């Protein structure tokens, strides 16, 4: 939702750019290394991968990958989708091919009016979310449900204007059809067509989504209650907009995650920015960083701060209780693992100092060099947890321009036109480099990116946001909002149940849409209970639906 997982969910969309002047590179004076924060993405991202690819069901890579269980099998189809659902200009009747993935292995069929479980595609390739939304795959046999995963317009292979990314993103005139309301209308149109083709007009549809997809799932239930009878909105920050959320809350939560693990870890990360900036400002410091960090060809020590920040943010979003490989291989509780790496290096240095004594200090320069070495080694060890958990990477590589999940072009536009989630401000004294929030600067930056005036208040206008409890109480039903409080995006989530059918499931130890992941024998009890609750709620919705429709089950 990328910045994400997270995230996005979001996880971050673009590289965190290092501003390095020639004077600083030459060691003339001390200059703070600043990084402009781009529009955040709610999907987690993986720019620094070594060889991991997103396997598709049916591919050899999929069958041999532990990240995609064998049960994930689907057929790829296309739906002829209208370009513009909301006016009658001749250009609106243009169409494009929208990709969807379908599995009817478990479906109970027409005679049983069995349900359809629909995934509202996120800001990326639909395969990625299909292969990682295990809750739907595991719940389908119980409910005898058909599984359908629909790709969001302008992402993956669902490109208007001839089906190519170049044509779709040519200019503002072509990108202007990339909006939330158009995407929701796509899903509604698709569902009604699918049900008509299957001759199941009364089949109940439950929509699922995580991160931005969770936002879409909740909004679809609001806008099209006659199309979907319930929504599971996981880690959906529908309140992360200006005037509703504290713009510092996202990074405050990340700070709390690291601080909760270790005071030493917190102190090291908090101090690291000034120490790295000092080192980058001198030739001697840069040389020390080169000796400590093995940067790949084409990358440099100037990339270290951005790499560190990305690792810290992404680890906090995907702080799952079991090993994961959603976008990059990570150990269980990666925040804890990063802090343990920092603490282990600290303890090793303390033991070494105790053994050798303290009589080898040759003055301030030696002391400063020793402090830099220790901190840089601690930072390197923490980064290794995120970028090299499997041990397969030979060096640290800065972000490349490739876009393996079809993410950047679309989200850059959305996050600077209407989905302007406020996750920019970083307070002084936290584990990340301070960045005072300035709404005017955010708007101006987005105007520069798109060439158009942003609409930061449109989402609240279209779907509600202020006084969300009364909004949803009066206009909605059958929505599950799951949020894990380890996830920074939970700061913009619905954290209290609003009615008997608008239910907030909040887990203090949870991370970004962890409930939608495939289950594992290592799952903690709290996660198992969350999934049981969600399953029972969906069962209750369906029972009520069949009763209301007079359908025998």
Q: Provide the annotated active-site residues.
A: 211, 487, 512
With b for 16 or more beta-carbon neighbours within 10 A and e for fewer, the 423-457 pattern comes to bbbbeeebbbbebebeeeebbebbeebbeeebbbe
CB of 549 closer than 8 Å to CB of 202:
yes
The three-point CA angle 191-195-201 to 5° equals 120
CB of 388 closer than 8 Å to CB of 51:
no
Element (DSSP H or E) covering residue 117: strand 116-120
The three-point CA angle 41-319-244 to 5° equals 45
Take residue 168 and report the two structure tokens written for it: 């779709």
How is 294-319 classified by DSSP, letter by letter? Answer: -BPTT--GGGHHHHHHHHHHHHHHT-
Residue 522 CB partners (closer than 8 Å, separation 6+): 321, 322, 323, 332
Strand order through the sheet with 75-82: 75-82, 95-103, 146-150, 116-120, 205-210, 230-234, 479-484, 502-507
Phi, psi of 277 (to 5 degrees): -60, -40
With b for 16 or more beta-carbon neighbours within 10 A and e for fewer, the 282-298 pattern comes to beebbebbeebbebeee
With b for 16 or more beta-carbon neighbours within 10 A and e for fewer, the 306-317 pattern comes to bbbbbbbbbbbb
Hey, which residues does 80 pair with through a beta bridge? 97
CB of 222 closer than 8 Å to CB of 476:
yes
Length of the chain: 553
**What is the CA 386 to chain-centroid distance, rounded?**
16
Specify the residue for token string 């990326």: 124
Take residue 439 and report the two structure tokens written for it: 């709404």
Distance CA 53, CA 204 (A): 35
């Amino acid at each position: 939702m990328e910045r994400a997982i997270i995230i996005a969910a979001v996880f971050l969309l673009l590289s965190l750019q290092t501003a390095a002047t020639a004077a600083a590179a030459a060691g003339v004076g001390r200059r703070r290394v600043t990084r402009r924060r781009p529009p955040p993405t709610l999907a987690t991202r993986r720019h620094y991968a070594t060889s991991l690819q997103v396997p598709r069901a049916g591919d050899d890579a999929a069958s041999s990958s532990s990240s995609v269980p064998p049960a994930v099998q689907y057929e790829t189809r296309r739906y002829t989708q209208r370009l513009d659902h909301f006016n009658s200009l001749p250009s609106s009747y243009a169409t494009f091919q929208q990709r969807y993935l379908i599995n009817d292995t478990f479906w109970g069929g027409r005679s049983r009016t069995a349900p359809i479980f629909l995934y509202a595609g996120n800001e990326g390739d639909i395969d990625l979310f299909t292969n990682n939304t295990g809750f739907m795959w595991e719940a389908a046999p119980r409910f005898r449900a058909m599984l359908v995963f629909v790709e969001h317009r302008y992402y993956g292979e669902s490109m208007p204007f001839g089906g190519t990314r170049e044509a779709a993103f040519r200019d503002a005139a072509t990108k202007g059809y990339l909006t939330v309301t158009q995407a929701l209308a796509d899903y509604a149109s698709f569902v009604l067509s699918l049900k008509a083709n299957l001759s199941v007009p009364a089949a109940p549809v439950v929509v699922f989504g995580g991160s931005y997809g969770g936002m879409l799932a909740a909004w679809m239930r609001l806008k099209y209650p006659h199309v979907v009878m319930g929504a599971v909105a996981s880690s959906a920050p529908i309140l992360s907009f200006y005037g509703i959320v504290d713009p510092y809350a996202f990074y405050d939560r990340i700070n709390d995650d690291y601080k909760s693990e270790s005071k030493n870890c917190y102190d090291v990360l908090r101090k690291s920015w000034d120490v790295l900036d000092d080192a980058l400002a001198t030739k001697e410091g840069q040389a020390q960083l080169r000796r400590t960090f093995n940067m790949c060809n084409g990358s440099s020590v100037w990339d270290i701060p951005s790499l560190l920040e990305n690792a810290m943010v992404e680890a906090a979003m995907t702080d799952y209780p079991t090993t994961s490989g959603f976008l990059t291989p990570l150990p269980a509780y990666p925040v804890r693992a990063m802090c343990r790496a920092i603490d282990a290096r600290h303890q090793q240095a303390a033991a070494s100092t105790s053994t050798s004594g303290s009589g080898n200090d040759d003055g301030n320069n030696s002391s400063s060099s020793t402090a830099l070495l220790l901190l840089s080694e601690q930072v390197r060890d923490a980064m290794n947890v995120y970028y090299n958990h499997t041990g397969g990477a030979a060096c640290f590589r800065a972000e490349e321009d490739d876009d393996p999940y079809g993410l950047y072009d679309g989200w850059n536009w959305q996050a600077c036109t209407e989905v302007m989630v406020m996750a920019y401000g970083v307070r002084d004294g936290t584990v990340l480099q301070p960045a005072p929030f300035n709404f005017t600067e955010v708007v101006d930056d987005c105007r520069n990116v798109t060439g158009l005036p942003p609409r930061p208040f449109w989402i609240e206008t279209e779907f509600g946001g202020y006084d969300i409890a009364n909004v949803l109480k009066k206009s909605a039903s059958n929505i599950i909002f799951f949020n894990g409080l380890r996830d920074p995006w939970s700061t913009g989530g619905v954290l209290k149940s609003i009615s008997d059918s608008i239910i907030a499931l909040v887990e203090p130890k949870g991370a970004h849409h962890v409930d939608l992941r495939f289950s594992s024998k290592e799952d903690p009890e709290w996660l198992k209970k969350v999934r049981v609750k969600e399953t029972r709620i969906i069962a209750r919705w369906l029972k009520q639906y069949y009763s209301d429709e007079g359908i025998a089950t």
